[in-house]
């Protein structure tokens, strides 16, 4: 049994703790949160002890590995501590909002051989993964175009925005990773526009965007489009489309059930899509933990590693530069 500690007992940390506890080959070792009562609640639910500090966790001989689900600006530090103490780590995205900090972290950790997995959960979604398999298996021939639609059901609160580092680093970063995964090669050029269509005043004030479109091109010429919005009122909209030379696959949205309504006004009407990431990506979060446990057990590098986290951030930086300067930005300009 792999004994995993969870740092951070917010919504996503609580979910990870439960998934670890339910995993047949892992167990929840301990939890920690800066808010002691949050940690106690989660610890109590799973019958484990809450730790008094992150350092206590990293020092513990009863902890084999660490899952980091704390606020973003602690991620790089905790990755470094995990590596320093030889504990494999699964860290929520992003590694950091600063590419410079990520690069420093890379220098500190990459040569040490301690497994670092980044929490790009969407790669583990059964539908997205089946799309990837279809592309890899040759089913659709040569891959030509990737189209990713990724829209959140509603605007988060202002406080969230202030800490998130902007839509490209916070939200599109998932899509940049998914794009790299699906394309199977690195985007070389990025074009992006950022719009303020939902709440122009707040977006203006925060110098952020609520609606974006991105186009990327790889060295071999593969094309990728991403669109984001903070306003899919019909549920969390998460689609991936892969067009190849002899076929196409589309990974579509998930509904809570399959009831269809028929009336004089509408036919085949379904419920709104699963909302939000914890429900929509339930299987993905499970599979992510499973992949982490398996890679530690086998001593193999994680499927989604530190460099994936860094590359996604670089694409985000390129997109920001493109949106500001209105031109096709070469990824090599960034890092």
Instruction: Output the CA torsion sign for 186, 67, 166, 103.
Output: negative
The secondary structure element, H or E, covering residue 126 is: helix 126-137
Query: Considering only residues 165-224, where is the footprint of a copy of itself by CB under 8 A?
Result: 189, 191, 193, 195-198, 211-213, 215, 217, 221-223
The answer to whether 256 contacts a copy of itself (rule: CB under 8 A) is yes
Q: How far is the CB of 175 from a copy of itself (least distance, A)?
A: 14
Is residue 189 within 8 Å of 220, Cβ to Cβ? no
What's the chain's Rg over C-alpha atoms? 20
SS3 sequence of 46-92: HCCEECCCHHHHHHCCCCCEEEECCCHHHHHHHHHHHHHCCCCEEEC
Residue labelled with tokens 């040490």: 112
- Closest to a copy of itself by CB, 22 or 71: 22
The answer to whether 326 contacts a copy of itself (rule: CB under 8 A) is yes
**How far is it, in rounded angstroms, from Cα 40 to Cα 53?**
13
The answer to whether 34 contacts a copy of itself (rule: CB under 8 A) is no
Query: How many residues form the binding site for a copy of itself (CB under 8 A)?
Result: 75
Is residue 242 within 8 Å of 249, Cβ to Cβ? yes
- Closest to a copy of itself by CB, 221 or 299: 221
The answer to whether 307 contacts a copy of itself (rule: CB under 8 A) is no
Instruction: Output the CA torsion sign for 291, 296, 300, 303.
Output: positive
- Give the one residue of 37, 53, 233, 332 binding a copy of itself; rule: CB under 8 A: 233
- Closest to a copy of itself by CB, 49 or 225: 225
The answer to whether 138 contacts a copy of itself (rule: CB under 8 A) is no
**How far is it, in rounded angstroms, from Cα 85 to Cα 104?**
18
Burial of 155: CB neighbours in 10 Å, binned 0-12, 13-18, 19+: middle
Q: How far is the CB of 298 from a copy of itself (least distance, A)?
A: 23
The answer to whether 266 contacts a copy of itself (rule: CB under 8 A) is yes
Query: Considering only residues 12-31, where is the footprint of a copy of itself by CB under 8 A?
Result: 22, 24
Q: How far is the CB of 10 from a copy of itself (least distance, A)?
A: 19
- Closest to a copy of itself by CB, 108 or 248: 248
Binding range to a copy of itself, per CB under 8 A, among 2-10, 105-113, 246-254, 308-316: 246-254
- Give the one residue of 25, 158, 219, 261 binding a copy of itself; rule: CB under 8 A: 261
The answer to whether 282 contacts a copy of itself (rule: CB under 8 A) is no
Cis status, amide bond into 94, omega within 30 of 0: yes
């Amino acid at each position: 049994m792999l004994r995993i500690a969870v740092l951070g007992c917010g919504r996503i940390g609580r979910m990870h703790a439960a998934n670890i506890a339910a995993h047949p080959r892992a167990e929840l070792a301990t939890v920690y949160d800066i808010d002691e009562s949050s940690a106690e609640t989660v610890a109590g639910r799973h019958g484990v002890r809450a730790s008094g500090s992150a350092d206590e966790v990293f020092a513990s001989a009863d902890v084999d590995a660490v899952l980091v689900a704390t606020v973003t600006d602690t991620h790089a530090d905790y990755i470094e501590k995990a590596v320093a103490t030889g504990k494999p780590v699964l860290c929520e995205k992003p590694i950091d909002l600063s590419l410079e900090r990520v690069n420093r972290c890379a220098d500190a950790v990459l040569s040490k051989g301690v497994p670092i997995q980044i929490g790009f959960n969407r790669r583990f979604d059964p539908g997205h993964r089946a799309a990837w398999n279809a592309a890899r298996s040759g089913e659709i021939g040569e891959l030509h175009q990737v189209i990713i639609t990724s829209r959140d059901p509603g605007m988060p609160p202002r406080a969230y925005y202030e800490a998130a580092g902007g839509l490209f680093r916070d939200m599109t970063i998932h899509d940049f990773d998914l794009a790299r995964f699906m394309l199977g090669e690195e985007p070389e050029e990025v074009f992006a526009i950022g719009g303020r269509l939902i709440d122009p005043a707040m977006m203006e004030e925060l110098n952020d965007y609520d609606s974006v479109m991105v186009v990327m091109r790889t060295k071999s010429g593969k094309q990728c489009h991403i669109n984001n919005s903070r306003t899919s009122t019909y549920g969390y909209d998460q689609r991936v489309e892969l067009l190849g030379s002899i076929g196409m696959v589309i990974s579509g949205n998930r509904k809570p059930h399959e009831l269809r309504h028929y009336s004089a006004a509408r036919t085949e009407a379904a419920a709104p899509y699963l909302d939000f990431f914890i429900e929509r990506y339930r299987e993905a979060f499970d599979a992510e933990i499973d992949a982490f446990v398996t890679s530690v057990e086998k001593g193999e590098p994680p499927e989604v590693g530190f460099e994936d986290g860094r590359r996604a951030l670089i694409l985000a930086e390129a997109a920001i530069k493109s949106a500001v300067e209105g031109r096709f930005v070469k990824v090599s300009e960034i890092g």
